[in-house]
Amino acid sequence: MKLATVREIHRYPVKSMQGERVREVSVAPDGILGDRMWAVRDEGRGEIEGARRLPELLGCTARFSDPLADGRNPVPQVELPDGERIAANAPELESRLSALCGRPLTLWSRRPAGDVDHYRRGKPDHDEMLEELRSIFGRLPEEPLPDLGGLPPEVIASATIPGTYYDVYPLFLLTKTSLATLDAAQPTSRFDARRFRPSLLLESVEENGFPENEWVGSRIRVGEVELEVAMECPRCVMTTHAFADLPKDPQIMRALVKENGGNVGVYASVLRNGIVREGDPVERIA
């Protein structure tokens, strides 16, 4: 059963920075080749960090200058807000990012999953857990917190899934229909796909609502790849930050909560490796 078509494929070489659109990618259990291979670590907090706390990272863009191939580990180039490009492994980049964000930052390529200290979650900002969750997910006191029951247990102690720089699952799927539904519900905000950082931006066969919600628990085929759709994606305050030509907009979260429980898009894990290309069909297989 056809569900959608792949319209755009996005790869983000450095966690929380803007990435690059590609026409085809190799996908394995640890995600899209080259995706989230690097991340910033806040040495003051002792934690891998992203744009939720460091929104300045969204003003940077990471790209690979050479084509990727399985088995290679090339270094991306990072373009800073002033347009300067620096290799991710260049020592001066860490000092530039630290100055940009006002924090002591280091930049790391992926470490082995057994490096527990590297991936360990830092001290929370708030003593009360409910207050901490409301801060993370940008929720007002009267708004419900998201259902986090589908999260992997590793996220309790680790800032990202150990061995990767993914917050939860390796792939995030988003339909243009969901964005259009939000646009129609709140036309004063811009529900630009860049705010939500999809791995795959899809054209759904459904024209209304949030069609990917119905895929949770299903196995789907995308090109050569088979995926299991794990859960709806609870969105955090990062989606409201300003970057590029997008303004800071807390009303983004208000609309997400009102229209879809604070969620948009779905997370997926990889069951079978393969190639995904723009134009590939997305089909439910189980």
Query: Is residue 74 scored above 90 in pLDDT?
Result: no
Report pLDDT digits (tens) over 76-91. Answer: 999 999 999 999 999 9
pLDDT of residue 222: 98
Alpha helices by DSSP H, the chain: 91-101, 116-119, 129-137, 176-185, 251-260
The two tokens of residue 235 are: 């969105």
φ, ψ of residue 212 in degrees (nearest 5): -70, -20
Q: Do 262 and 253 meet the contact criterion of CB atoms below 8 Å apart? A: yes
Report pLDDT digits (tens) over 165-217. Answer: 999 999 999 999 999 999 999 999 999 999 999 999 999 999 999 999 999 99
Residue range of the domain that includes 135: 2-284
Report pLDDT digits (tens) over 242-267. Answer: 999 999 999 999 999 999 999 999 99
Q: Do 29 and 170 meet the contact criterion of CB atoms below 8 Å apart? A: yes
CATH code of 135's domain: 2.40.33.20
Query: Is residue 70 scored above 80 in pLDDT?
Result: no
- Domains identified in the chain, total number: 1
Helix (H) or strand (E) holding 221: strand 219-222
pLDDT of residue 108: 97
Q: pTM (2 decimals)?
A: 0.96
